[in-house]
Structure 1
């Protein structure tokens, strides 16, 4: 069964596992803070790269914050393939 996500922020959070998993992985960040990201569909700029990395790049920085990552490949890890 496929899950319909509320928004791209929820998809990024769910790629990590859950709201509480994201909160734990960020350390002192509250569960409510992460829930607010989903509600507002806006991840703070200083958390975008880490969240994408935690979710194994299922969601890209461009998808989360096109206002600060305007190109599709912005901030993505470089491929090891030469």
Structure 2
């Protein structure tokens, strides 16, 4: 006769876990190459902008790679629009 196994209880989510609305979806985070392609600039131009602190805001991942929130890039672009004369 098989041993009786207790019913499995559903696991509770951790209270410190981010909800889906709070955590960025991977496609919302752009790489440096994707940003350079979007802005039609070279990587060296991007690096110059970073050195001058005039590049779009970014997120530094634990592995030290940079990512850009699509919404932050759009705001950055809008802030650099010139009014027509």
TM-score using structure 2 length: 0.31
Q: Which structure carries more strand by proportion?
A: 2
Q: Which has the larger radius of gyration?
A: 2
Q: Which structure carries more helix by proportion?
A: 1
